[in-house]
Structure 1
């Protein structure tokens, strides 16, 4: 999990590879908390592991902008931004964290007041 996170932040692996590696390690979902700057990984056996993220820092004050989040997702999918840049963009769009459901094949982006944008993995529908 830690190695995956490090490689992702360094821009050496993209989301599909991250998800593949985490799934192989038994991770069924993870939560990225941008306010606490940490990621919690949940394994199918019931264990969980929290790791410091080491992502971009800053206060997330603005209203949640689902269009801004979706734009960051599309830029990431096209390989136009690194993971660190992606995190900065979703923070600028008012996102305080997200839940990646590996087994459910979707990501749920959340704002401070509970606003949400659900993004299916490429090739799936919600």
Structure 2
């Protein structure tokens, strides 16, 4: 992986965690450098980016101190998603809300245009990207 690609990914990750980017802004930057999916692992406190050439870039990110319950609250996760889609909720708050709703992480499938959110018991909520 070239250094520019790694720099773009790391900058995007840090700016997202600081609440400086919207989800579409972050996606646009990642697509430009060839990211096809990424996995945000709340428990491991990292996000791993997968590029189309089978290259991988893992970025350690400190997560909020929120205890993730055993129960998976799909409505709570959907509420956080809708807040992010309307730019009422930025990523730092999104993390807190989804963690409190029992989410342990998610995978963004850029080409597939959806996100899979995971719970402790293997629950999955699939959220398709909005049209437009």
Q: Which TM-score band (shorter chain)?
A: over 0.9
Which ranges in structure 1 are unaligned for 5 or more consecutive residues?
none
**Residue 69 (str. 1) matches residue 77 (str. 2):** yes
> Structure 2 length as normaliser, TM-score?
0.90
User: Quick check: 1:62–1:93 contact (8 Å CA) kept in 2?
Assistant: no
- Aligned counterpart in structure 2 of residue 9 of structure 1, from 17, 27, 37: 17
Aligned residues, how many? 124
Moved segments of 4+, more than 3 Å: none
Q: How far is 1:58 from its partner? A: 3.1
Question: What does residue 4 of structure 2 align with?
Answer: none
2:13 and 2:126 map into 1 onto residues whose CA distance is 22
Corresponding residue SS for 2:63: coil
1:53 and 1:27 map into 2 onto residues whose CA distance is 18
Which ranges in structure 2 are unaligned for 5 or more consecutive residues?
1-8
Q: How far is 1:42 from its partner? A: 0.3
Corresponding residue SS for 1:63: coil
